[in-house]
């Protein structure tokens, strides 16, 4: 069994070990931040356990726009430091740690009657500044081409549904796009497990202290005490539920899913400025499984934090109306085959809530790393998916110092995740992932990189390479193989069909697709669990 393989059996064994033996560092929360911390700490030689109340990537980390972005939007709010950090981390992801999961995505901003001339000029200046960040980060134009003005024909080739009438041309600018956000989280968790970290899902921390936590195994109801020399709280928007000193101002972002065919199966993303804004855009992003996801909004979401946030009808209407301004045929509510929302864990630095703080669209995306005055744990909050690695580095630096641990320096910029090629110096070396696996379906390679062949080869159940079922709802592209379902159970810690449908694969983003294949997936998961 691979050291990086997460399974139900390993979970059971390591949970027993955690009850018996203290660890150096306990991480609470299995989103991108928590697994990033677990990997950073394990790579420095610390003994690590991570507990996640539900499943890996249960929270905000599966509801993102799936962009490894270079910080353009933070320039607009004057956050140059955040923008530079984003561009640097995008570079690390695309060239060293996860080149197999992140691709260069052309983004098309059509210059048409639906986009004001000032918005076109402002966007052009923004792209130029974003390109300076790319160069500053050392990302070559082979990896991410610079921005340029394109002719109408090229814009229409990249996004066929764009209205040709009054189309003068378009800005085309590239950014990084993840094949899937939850897949990045699982890859990080497995890489951490390969370095000895215990990754324990369905384990809720109910009481956080400086030297451990009370834990509940939600599968059995059993309670145990974990002892650690330091605890890191990476519970995102739920941080306030385990630490009363934390003050967050969650902001909801919503996306809708439409069949890619409805927009002419675009190769590029469409960017449409929000009316009246020079820095906010609605994106229509081509995604795996024959879909386009359209987002996003930025609405303050005060009050209790739900397990799964729900988009509102007005947010959905706003997204459809904004994108339709530049399309030849407007999108209608009937075109929507799925919708999802996520809550950004924005840190409220404004002092006591007097209601006079900035709107959530303006709150800084800077992350916060500090020792909690109330629990004594290290809180790591805010930030974003793209910058998980530097957040983890800061959190582990502080944890090591705070607890007086002996640990090596951080080296995660040079630590490839499972499925990545070995560290690469030049972008051309990124190519072999695809070249080597030419015979494999491109979709499989996009999801598993160098492990693609192994996913098929290690499957024990019959019909490994065949699809789990037909995509309905007009997508027609449900190219998830039966082998991937088995791999999710034998290597990626999936404990039931929901884990597979909603996080290891993203079939569940379209409820009709989910319902169509649920029976088959349940059967495959049952068989794979029985063979462990």
Establish if 48 lies at the interface with ligand FAD (CB under 6 A). Answer: no
| CA end-to-end distance (rounded Å), the chain | 10
Give the number of other Cβ atoms within 10 Å of residue 500's Cβ: 29
Tokens of 173: 């600018």
Q: How far is the CB of 129 from ligand FAD (least distance, A)?
A: 18
Nearest distance from C-beta of residue 482 to ligand FAD, angstroms: 27
**Does 212 contact ligand FAD by CB under 6 A?**
no
Asked if 384 interacts with ligand FAD (CB under 6 A), we say yes
Q: How far is CA 59 from CA 69, 137, 209, 523, in A?
A: 20, 30, 23, 26
Rounded Cα distance, 475 and 467, in Å: 14
- Does position 338 bind ligand FAD by CB under 6 A? no
Q: What sign results for the dihedral spanned by CA atoms 234, 188, 60, 92?
A: positive
Smallest distance from the beta carbon of 36 to ligand FAD, in angstroms? 8
Binding segment toward ligand FAD, per CB under 6 A, in 219-227, 233-241, 314-322, 434-442: 233-241
Which residue number, 44 or 54, has a Cβ lying nearer to ligand FAD?
54
CB of 49 to ligand FAD, least distance (A): 12
Positions of E strands within 179-263: 198-201, 203-209, 212-217, 223-233, 251-259
Q: Does 281 bind ligand FAD (CB under 6 A)?
A: no
- Which one of 27, 37, 46, 60 is in contact with ligand FAD (CB under 6 A)? 60
Query: Based on CB atoms, which residue is closest to ligand FAD, 30 or 194?
Result: 30
Beta bridge partners of 270: 108, 284
Q: How far is the CB of 148 from ligand FAD (least distance, A)?
A: 23
Is residue 67 involved in binding ligand FAD (CB under 6 A)? yes
∠ CA(402), CA(405), CA(408), 5° rounding? 115
Q: Which of 187, 263, 289, 343 binds ligand FAD (CB under 6 A)?
A: 343
Question: For residue 296, is the peptide bond before it cis, meaning its omega torsion is within 30 degrees of 0?
Answer: yes
Is 311 a binder of ligand FAD (CB under 6 A)? no
Residue 401 CB contacts under 8 Å (≥ 6 apart), including other chains: none
* 383 near ligand FAD (CB under 6 A): yes
Question: Minimal distance in Å, beta carbon 345 to ligand FAD?
Answer: 6
Q: Which of 15, 115, 385, 395 binds ligand FAD (CB under 6 A)?
A: 385
CA 75/CA 433 separation, integer angstroms: 33
We find the least distance from the C-beta atom of residue 37 to ligand FAD, in angstroms, to be 9
Asked whether position 33 contacts ligand FAD by CB under 6 A, the answer is yes
Which is nearest to 421 in space by CA: 143, 144, 99?
99
- What is the rounded distance in angstroms from the CA atom of residue 517 to the CA atom of residue 498? 11
Rounded Cα distance between 52 and 234, Å, is 10
Residue 54 DSSP SS3: coil
Which window, 59-67, 136-144, 472-480, 485-493, contacts ligand FAD (CB under 6 A)? 59-67
Q: Is 204 in the site for ligand FAD (CB under 6 A)?
A: yes
Choice between 205 and 464, CB closer to ligand FAD: 205
State the DSSP code for 338.
Answer: E
User: Could you tell me the smallest distance in angstroms from the CB atom of residue 385 to ligand FAD?
Assistant: 3
- Assess 34 for contact with ligand FAD (CB under 6 A): yes
- 344 is a site residue for ligand FAD (CB under 6 A): yes
DSSP states of 406-447 as a string? Answer: ------GGG-PPTTSPSP-SSGGGGTHHHHHTTTS-HHHHHH
Q: Is 66 in the site for ligand FAD (CB under 6 A)?
A: yes
Asked if residue 28 binds ligand FAD (CB under 6 A), the reply is: yes
Rounded-to-10 torsion of CA 239, 241, 244, 249: 50
Among 31, 99, 126, 338, binds ligand FAD (CB under 6 A): 31
Question: Please, which residue, 4 or 233, has the CB nearer to ligand FAD?
Answer: 233
CB of 87 to ligand FAD, least distance (A): 12
DSSP summary character for residue 500: I
Degrees, nearest 5: CA angle 61-64-66: 105
Binds ligand FAD (CB under 6 A): choice among 29, 130, 194, 419:
29
Q: Is 210 left (phi over 0), alpha (psi -120 to 50) or beta?
A: alpha
Place of tokens 């339709």: 324
The yes or no reply on residue 236 touching ligand FAD (CB under 6 A) is: yes
- Do the beta carbons of residue 481 and residue 444 sit within 8 Å? yes
For residues 244 to 273, the per-residue mask of contacts with ligand FAD, x marking binding by CB under 6 A and - elsewhere, is ---------x--------------------
Chain center to CA of 198 = 21
If the CB atoms of residues 30 and 126 are measured against ligand FAD, the closer one turns out to be: 30
Choice between 89 and 451, CB closer to ligand FAD = 89
Could you tell me the two tokens for 467?
């699809």
58 contributes a contact to ligand FAD by CB under 6 A: yes
Residues of the shown chain interacting with ligand FAD in the complex, contacts defined by CB under 6 A: 28-34, 51-54, 58-61, 63-67, 69, 204-205, 234-238, 242, 253, 296, 342-345, 383-386
């Amino acid at each position: 069994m691979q050291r990086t393989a997460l399974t139900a059996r390993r979970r059971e064994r390591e949970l027993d070990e955690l009850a018996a033996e203290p660890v150096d560092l306990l991480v609470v929360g299995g989103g991108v931040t928590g697994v990033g911390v677990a990997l950073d700490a394990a790579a420095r030689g610390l003994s690590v356990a991570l507990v996640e109340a539900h499943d890996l990537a249960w929270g905000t980390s599966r509801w993102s726009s799936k962009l490894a972005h270079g910080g353009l939007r933070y320039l607009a709010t004057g956050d140059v430091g955040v923008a530079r950090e984003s561009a640097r981390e995008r570079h690390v992801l695309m060239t060293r740690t996860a080149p197999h999961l992140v691709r260069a995505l052309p983004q098309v901003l059509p210059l048409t009657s639906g986009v004001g001339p000032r918005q076109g000029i402002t966007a052009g200046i923004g792209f130029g500044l974003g390109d300076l960040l790319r160069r500053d980060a050392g990302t070559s134009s082979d990896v991410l081409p610079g921005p340029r003005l394109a002719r109408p024909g090229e814009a229409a080739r990249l996004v066929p549904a764009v209205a040709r009438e009054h189309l003068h041309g378009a800005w085309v600018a590239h950014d990084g796009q993840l094949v899937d956000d939850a897949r990045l989280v699982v890859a990080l968790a497995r890489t951490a497990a390969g370095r000895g970290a215990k990754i324990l899902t369905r384990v809720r921390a109910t009481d956080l202290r400086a030297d451990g936590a009370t834990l509940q195994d939600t599968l059995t109801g059993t309670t145990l005490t974990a002892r650690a020399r330091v605890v890191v709280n990476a519970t995102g928007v739920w941080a306030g539920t385990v630490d009363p000193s934390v003050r967050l101002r969650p902001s909801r972002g919503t996306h809708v899913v439409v069949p890619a065919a409805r927009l002419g199966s675009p190769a590029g993303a469409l960017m449409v400025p929000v009316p009246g804004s020079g820095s906010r855009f609605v994106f229509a992003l081509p995604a795996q499984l024959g879909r386009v996801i359209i987002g996003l909004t930025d609405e303050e979401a005060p009050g209790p934090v739900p397990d799964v946030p729900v988009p509102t009808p007005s947010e959905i209407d706003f997204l459809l109306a904004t994108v339709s301004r530049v399309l030849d045929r407007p999108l209608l509510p009937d075109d929507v085959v799925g919708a999802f929302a996520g809550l950004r864990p924005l840190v409220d630095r404004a002092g006591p809530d007097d209601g006079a703080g900035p709107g959530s669209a303006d709150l800084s995306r800077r992350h916060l790393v500090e020792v909690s005055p109330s629990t004594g744990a290290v809180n790591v909050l805010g930030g974003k998916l793209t910058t998980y690695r530097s957040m983890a580095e800061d959190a582990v630096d502080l944890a090591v110092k705070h607890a007086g641990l002996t640990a090596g320096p951080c080296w995660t910029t040079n630590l490839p995740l499972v499925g990545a090629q070995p560290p690469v110096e030049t972008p051309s070396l990124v190519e072999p992932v695809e070249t080597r696996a030419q015979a494999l379906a491109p979709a499989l390679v996009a999801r598993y990189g160098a492990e693609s062949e192994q996913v098929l080869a290690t499957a024990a159940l019959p019909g490994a390479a065949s699809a789990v079922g037909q995509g309905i709802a007009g997508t027609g592209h449900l190219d998830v193989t039966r082998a991937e379902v088995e791999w999710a159970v034998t290597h990626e810690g999936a404990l039931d069909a929901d884990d597979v449908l909603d996080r290891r694969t993203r079939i569940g983003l379209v409820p009709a697709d989910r319902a169509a294949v649920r029976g088959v997936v349940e059967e495959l998961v049952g068989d794979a669990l029985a063979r462990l």
